[in-house]
Amino acid sequence: MKRGYLGVLTGLMMVMLAGCTNGVSYEAGSYVGSAQGKNGPIKVEVTFSENKIESVQVVSYKDDLDYATKAVEGMPESIIAKQRLDVDAVSGATLTSRGIVGAVAQCVTDAGADPEKLGFTSVAKKTDSQEVLITGLTDEKIITGDEIKAMTPVTFEAISIDASGTQTPTSGKGVKLEDILAQYGESQKNYDAIVLNATDGYAIEIPRDVLAIRDVIIAYEVNGAACDLRTVVPEERAMYWVKFLNKIEIKGAVTQVETENLAMLETAVLMCTPETYKYYDAIDQAVPTSQLLEKTGATKTETVDVAGMDGWARTENYDLYKNQYIKITGENAPMFIGPDLPEGMRMKDMLYNKLGKDLILSVSKAQEKYGTTTMNGKSGVAIDKIFQELKIREAARYKLTGSDGNETEISLEELKKGLLTLSDGGVDGVFEGPDAVSVKGLLFIKAVV
């Protein structure tokens, strides 16, 4: 009995030991390897004993510090602990995580072992089986990476411009979305919008005016290296360059809803309870969009249009939107932002949020964009200019409501002669004539219909 027991115990220990080392042997020593990260190569140094990965050190990388730090610190620990390369990527730093694993895989190869035995799968192989769902056509379609690679490829040279304005030259290979849709007898130019979705939750809508003049390329090679399926839109900002593409939603004609209710952002945020918000190294103030919606009484809609000073606009899902924040102080304020919102989905220098008939306007940004004029010693943006630029519905009369609940009704003619000025109460409405009404802490301008 004792001998049998010892035999079983010895067998179990051998299995456990094999599990710890994966049964893989190495040529002991230290090796240096590199692989592509988010913004450039990641270099690692790996030390092996004969049957174990002893240490992994990230020597250099070019990825953003805020983006990469957790991966640089966490991935080596996971690889050493599991003695495997199929470890989970660090949330929010997938590309850095992949780069570290790829660089370690190169070291494993140099040390005389097969990285596939440690669970490593190359990006090229992952891309072959990657699926992209296409909706909005007569029937839903699924196209895989290997099917895309079998199509006639195009090469591209483009400049990626990120949210901070940084320009990065990029080249690569892929297939035009137009060619993919042509297989189904369709064209991107026939649709009002196409929404690109990523596995990490990022989504962006490409509007009709961009679809009409730009190529949307589904790329599988970037800067000479295999990559996950992603979109590249040459001559457009990187917000349309979606990594980890898994869904393309094609949207037909969308009826534009006229604005009837205009709410003032600066007045509304004074009625909200601000929270401390850390933005990189700055400590700013932000208000939850849920509070903003409550104070402005904006109607729940399926989507929310978020537009910036520079003319760019995003269409967000309502539920996603209401769980974010509007940063109201510091750099690029007001700014649509959230702790889990990818940088490309943020909107700096936000001009307005539109929910159906309701539009929440940043008067400070409207003054910067449309200019100011003076009336009764006050400087502000002309309401007539706001109506022209934002296509506000014209009605015979309008109701002006202050943050104190007081209401005043005036005609369209009187309204268009007024200004929106900034004040301690948020926004004031200033109008012509000695007897003209002036509304302090103006919250709403609503068409009387």
The predicted pLDDT at position 23 comes to: 79
Looking at the structure, do residues 193 and 310 belong to the same domain, yes or no?
Answer: no
296-302 CB contacts, 8 Å cutoff, 24+ apart: 296/263, 296/268, 296/358, 296/360, 296/443, 296/444, 297/263, 297/358, 298/261, 298/263, 298/353, 298/355, 298/358, 298/360, 299/355, 299/356, 299/357, 299/358, 300/355, 301/355, 301/356
Looking at the structure, do residues 218 and 296 belong to the same domain, yes or no?
Answer: no
CA–CA gap between residue 344 and residue 237 (Å, rounded): 10
If you average pLDDT over residues 303-328, what whole number do you get?
Answer: 89
If you average pLDDT over residues 200-218, what whole number do you get?
Answer: 86
- Number of Cβ within a 10 Å radius of residue 256: 9
Q: How confident is the model at residue 155 (pLDDT cuts 50, 70, 90)?
A: very high
Specify whether the CB–CB gap between 196 and 242 falls below 8 A. yes
Specify whether the CB–CB gap between 64 and 38 falls below 8 A. yes
The predicted pLDDT at position 433 comes to: 65
More confident residue, 126 or 183: 183
Looking at the structure, do residues 230 and 293 belong to the same domain, yes or no?
Answer: no
CA–CA gap between residue 184 and residue 147 (Å, rounded): 14
Q: How confident is the model at residue 255 (pLDDT cuts 50, 70, 90)?
A: low
Q: Which of 101, 121, 141 is the last residue of a domain?
A: 121
1 falls within a domain? no
Reference 231, options 248, 208, 249; nearest CA is 248
The predicted pLDDT at position 163 comes to: 65
Looking at the structure, do residues 301 and 443 belong to the same domain, yes or no?
Answer: yes
11 falls within a domain? no
Q: Residue 31 pLDDT > 50, yes or no? A: yes
Looking at the structure, do residues 353 and 440 belong to the same domain, yes or no?
Answer: yes
152 falls within a domain? yes
Q: What is the domain range of residue 99? A: 24-121
Looking at the structure, do residues 304 and 440 belong to the same domain, yes or no?
Answer: yes
Q: Residue 376 pLDDT > 90, yes or no? A: no
- The pTM of the full predicted model, rounded to 2 decimals, is 0.56
Q: Which of 220, 251, 282 is the last residue of a domain?
A: 251
The predicted pLDDT at position 12 comes to: 43
The predicted pLDDT at position 37 comes to: 82
More confident residue, 416 or 164: 416
Indicate the number of domains in the chain: 3
Q: How confident is the model at residue 36 (pLDDT cuts 50, 70, 90)?
A: confident
More confident residue, 200 or 218: 218
What CATH number does residue 109 fall under? 3.90.1010.20
379 falls within a domain? yes
The predicted pLDDT at position 190 comes to: 82
SS3 content of the chain, % helix, strand, coil (to 5): 30, 35, 35
More confident residue, 122 or 390: 390
Looking at the structure, do residues 35 and 142 belong to the same domain, yes or no?
Answer: no
CA–CA gap between residue 231 and residue 116 (Å, rounded): 28
The predicted pLDDT at position 22 comes to: 66
Looking at the structure, do residues 191 and 230 belong to the same domain, yes or no?
Answer: yes
Considering the chain, what is the average pLDDT of its residues? 88
What CATH number does residue 239 fall under? 3.90.420.10
If you average pLDDT over residues 179-197, what whole number do you get?
Answer: 90
Looking at the structure, do residues 245 and 267 belong to the same domain, yes or no?
Answer: no
If you average pLDDT over residues 358-379, what whole number do you get?
Answer: 95
Q: How confident is the model at residue 365 (pLDDT cuts 50, 70, 90)?
A: very high
If you average pLDDT over residues 78-99, what whole number do you get?
Answer: 89
